[in-house]
């Protein structure tokens, strides 16, 4: 440990204390509040199994919203990510595109949902629009970063044939970045399912609408049914995406390893 490091750690701790004081963080309140948690947990054990069917139907709606949002969002973000990649277009193209994407990302999806509820009214459609915006901002960024890390050799080799930019994108950029894209689609879908569960809080449809209403009326036993369904579905999606990742992405990573071998 150098004195410089000690000083740095000291500064970070001081900032933590000052910030905690400023926001009124009080550990005593936390400890005193624990019995309240016990009451909620106790009420949650009074599960109402009859609601499971409603819960699964509303979860199905949530999944459909997430599916549409992810698919349309990725479709829009794909061309945008090409225009935002520094190794494909000049700064006159990528700088404005990146600025737009950064602006889209500044709003969390719940703010987009509020905006779209005002625009198109309560219901799942507003939620879908919010998911699309969030997906575009996020996936386009991840994807242009993936494009920029593509090995420059296949690009140079194909560019030297004198092909057009669109041919370069179609035959080098897309296949080379495909494993990243697949990984992002899976992650985004999973993330969007969780997100869409929340969007109901502002009236944008899905399972969150039920959860927030039951919590508002202190019916924790009913709310927990919906929460369990969210937990179950997210775990299933996670498990499926791990399988898909193993099948398609790990294999191509393995391919990259083999490239470095000098001979058979």
Which residues contact another protein by CB under 8 A? 151, 153-164, 166-167, 170-172, 175-176, 178-179, 251-252, 254-256, 258-259, 261-264
| Listed residue (137, 138, 115, 131) closest to 208, CA to CA | 131
CB of 174 to another protein, least distance (A): 10
Q: Which is nearer to another protein, 178 or 215 (CB)?
A: 178
CB of 232 to another protein, least distance (A): 34
Other C-beta atoms lying within 10 Å of the C-beta of residue 180: 18
Q: Which is nearer to another protein, 30 or 166 (CB)?
A: 166
For residues 234 and 240, give the distance between their C-alpha atoms in angstroms, rounded to a whole number.
10
CB of 163 to another protein, least distance (A): 5
Judged on CB neighbours under 10 Å (0-12, 13-18, 19+), 47 is middle
H-type alpha helices, 24-51: 27-44
Q: Which is nearer to another protein, 26 or 87 (CB)?
A: 87
Q: Which is nearer to another protein, 142 or 155 (CB)?
A: 155
Q: Which is nearer to another protein, 173 or 193 (CB)?
A: 173
- For 226, residues 6+ apart whose C-beta sits below 8 A from its C-beta are 51, 55, 58, 59, 207, 210, 211, 214
CB of 140 to another protein, least distance (A): 21
222 phi and psi angles, rounded to 5 deg: -80, -40
Give just the sign of the alpha carbon dihedral 101, 102, 105, 106. Answer: negative
CB of 254 to another protein, least distance (A): 7
Per-residue buried b or exposed e for 72-110, using 16+ beta carbons within 10 Å of the residue's own CB: bbbebbbebbbbbbeebeeeeebeebbeebeebeebebb
Q: Which is nearer to another protein, 25 or 256 (CB)?
A: 256
CB of 147 to another protein, least distance (A): 14
């Amino acid at each position: 440990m150098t004195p410089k490091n000690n000083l740095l750690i000291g500064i970070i701790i001081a900032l933590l204390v000052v910030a905690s004081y400023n926001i009124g963080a009080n550990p005593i309140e936390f400890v005193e509040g624990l019995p309240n948690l016990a009451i909620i947990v106790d009420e949650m054990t009074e599960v109402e199994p009859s609601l499971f069917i409603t819960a699964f139907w509303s979860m199905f709606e949530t999944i459909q919203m997430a599916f549409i949002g992810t698919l349309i969002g990725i479709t829009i973000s794909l061309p945008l990510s090409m225009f935002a990649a520094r190794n494909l277009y000049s700064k006159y193209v990528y700088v404005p595109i990146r600025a737009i994407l950064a602006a889209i990302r500044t709003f969390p999806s719940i703010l987009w949902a509020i905006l779209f509820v005002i625009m198109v009214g309560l219901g799942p459609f507003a939620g879908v629009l919010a998911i699309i915006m969030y997906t575009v901002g996020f996936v386009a960024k991840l994807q242009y970063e993936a494009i920029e890390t593509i090995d420059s050799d296949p690009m140079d080799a194909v560019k030297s044939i004198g092909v057009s930019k669109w041919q370069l994108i179609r035959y080098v950029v897309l296949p080379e970045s495909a494993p990243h894209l697949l990984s992002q689609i899976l992650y985004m879908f999973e993330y969007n399912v969780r997100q869409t569960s929340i969007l109901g809080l502002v009236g944008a449809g899905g399972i969150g609408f039920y959860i927030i209403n039951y919590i508002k009326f202190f019916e924790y036993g009913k709310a927990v049914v919906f929460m369990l369904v969210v937990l179950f579905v997210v775990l299933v999606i996670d498990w499926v995406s791990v399988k898909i990742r193993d099948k398609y992405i790990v294999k191509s990573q393995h391919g990259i390893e083999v490239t470095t071998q000098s001979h058979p």
